[in-house]
Copies of this chain bind each other. A is one copy, B any other.
Amino acid sequence: MTRSDRSPHGGELPSGVVRIAVDLLGGDGAPAVVVDGALRACSADPDLHLILVGPREPAGEVIGALAVGDRERVSVIAVDSVIAMADSPLRNIRRETTVRAAAEAVYTGRADAMVSAGSSGAAVAASAHVLGRLRGVRRPGLAARVPTERGPVLLVDVGVTLDATMLELVQHAVLGTAFAAVGLGIARPRVGLLSIGSEPGKGDRLRRAVSVALSDVPLPAGGRYVGLVEGFDVPRGGPADVVVTDGFTGNILLKGIEGAITASRGGSKISDVYGTRPHEAAAVLLGVAGDVVVCHGSAGGAEVADGIALAARLHRDRITPAVAGLADDLLTELSSAGGLTIRDALGEHS
């Protein structure tokens, strides 16, 4: 497959080449771990071109560490602003920041995909603002792949939808199902809704309403709703390939799983536990019109490299257009039925 048709600069890019914008200032360990991750990614994939977005000094460090013949694979967009973790992502959306400049590189076609290690709020806000959402999507969702002995589980959302609505969770079920099919190669994905028990009716008002709605929605790619699943079903796998939840619960569950594994293994990194396969520490942003990967804020260099490799694969395999194609009709239909409330779904009348 050739990407040369996507080059906005007129020059033909070699077949297989993919250009990833990397936020040098994202993550707790930035820029050092991002520099480390960029170097690892470059050496692992000779067709990878990186556009480093951030201050010139760490960017120069990456370039200086590469063999002379590889230096043309790296370019720089110089930006110095930092998003502090405590800042409001929305307040900063209009400022020139590294994560916003990375999204703009994707928007203008200079990059094919982008990677940031956070803050995830800023990365999501900037990329959704600059790249736009897929048609009908109310809010994007971060999808994390959790490897289990029974196959991967895609957990959606892990941090975007705080105070989530019914429509957002149903749309994330649709997006997650499409991604599981085309991104993880799962035929007829089984979709579960995370709750506090598996019996019908268990959970809070939001879960009871979403469960009713999901029973009625025809999921894409032959996906089917299998009902409620519990916290242990995410790390163990089994009942569902896609587990849908609000971003508050999903974030806490994912970090709890990670903490439990590192604690029980005496502090080893999650990547040591699961091997070195990509995207344990990298989440895909679903519902945005572009390829965006958000790494865990505490990601190390190997994990940033995994995130870059995941972004490259998203682009090479045309995952995001395929997800959009599978989900478009449903998302639009759900959005226009957006007046449906939890009260309606639960059959409550005032």
Hey, which bits of chain A sit against chain B, CB under 8 A? 85-86, 88, 119, 148-149, 159, 162-163, 194-197, 199-201, 203-205, 207, 230-237, 245, 247-249, 251-265, 273
Contact = CB atoms under 8 A, between A and B. Distances in A.
B163 A248 contact: no
A253 B231 contact: yes
B248 A263 contact: no
Contacts of A249: 248-249, 252
Contacts of A85: 197, 199
With a 10 A CB-CB cut-off, give which of A200, A233, A259, A265 has the most chain B CB atoms: A259
Contacts of A258: 231-232, 260
Nearest to A199: B86
A26 to B, nearest CB: 14
Nearest to A206: B163
Nearest to A201: B86
A67 B52 CA distance: 76
Contacts of A159: 196
Nearest to A204: B162
Given A85-B199, A231-B258, A264-B265, 6 more contacts: A148-B263, A231-B251, A235-B264, A237-B263, A252-B252, A260-B261
A159 B159 CA distance: 22
7 contacts: A86-B199, A162-B196, A196-B251, A231-B258, A233-B259, A256-B257, A264-B264
Q: Which 7 A-B pairs have the closest CB atoms?
A: A232-B259, A231-B255, A231-B256, A162-B204, A235-B260, A260-B260, A231-B252
A103 B236 CA distance: 35
Contacts of A204: 162-163, 248
B232 A256 contact: yes
Contacts of A199: 85-86
A210 to B, nearest CB: 13
Contacts of A259: 231-236, 257
A320 B145 CA distance: 43
Nearest to A146: B260
A273 B255 CA distance: 19
Contacts of A119: 197
A41 B6 CA distance: 70
Contact of A232 (B207, B232, B233, B262): B262
A106 B252 CA distance: 37
A247 B196 contact: yes
A232 B261 CA distance: 10
Contacts of A203: 162, 248
A184 B33 CA distance: 40
A247 B205 CA distance: 13
Contacts of A252: 194-196, 230-231, 245, 249, 252-253
B196 A248 contact: yes
Contacts of A88: 201
A114 B158 CA distance: 38
A235 B263 contact: yes
Contacts of A205: 162-163
A196 B265 CA distance: 23
A291 to B, nearest CB: 24
